[in-house]
Amino acid sequence: MKKFLFTLLQFFLFLIVFVVGSFLHPLNIHWHNSVTATGARYFVADGLLLSLGLLILIVIAQAIRKRLCNTTWTVIAFVLAVAVAYAMKLGFITREL
């Protein structure tokens, strides 16, 4: 039960970092996706990169504490948070021409 609770909390942490990075654009990195007759659609990678950086920090902290058995659950929380964020279309922007 304790692992599930920590996984759920990490999931929400990764999702919140992804949302904040997607809306605030702290790094201002854009990946161009497509151009249509009505506008350009691209992906702002800031939220994804910030979440990935947070994942790396958590894994390093777990390695220092010798808690590598929890790393699997941390990666599962990260993958689920990224999947939910993509499903919500966070980070995708459409600009009118």
- pLDDT tens for the chain, 97 residues long, are 888 999 999 999 999 999 999 888 887 777 776 777 777 777 888 899 999 999 999 999 999 998 778 889 999 999 999 999 999 988 877 777 6
pTM for the structure as a whole:
0.85
Helix axis angle for 71-87 and 46-64, nearest 10°, is: 170
CB 69 within 8 Å of CB 5: no
Q: What is the Cα–Cα distance from 68 to 57, expressed in whole angstroms?
A: 13
Residue 44 backbone dihedrals phi, psi, to 5 degrees? -90, 115
Closest of 18, 76, 79 to residue 49, by C-alpha: 18
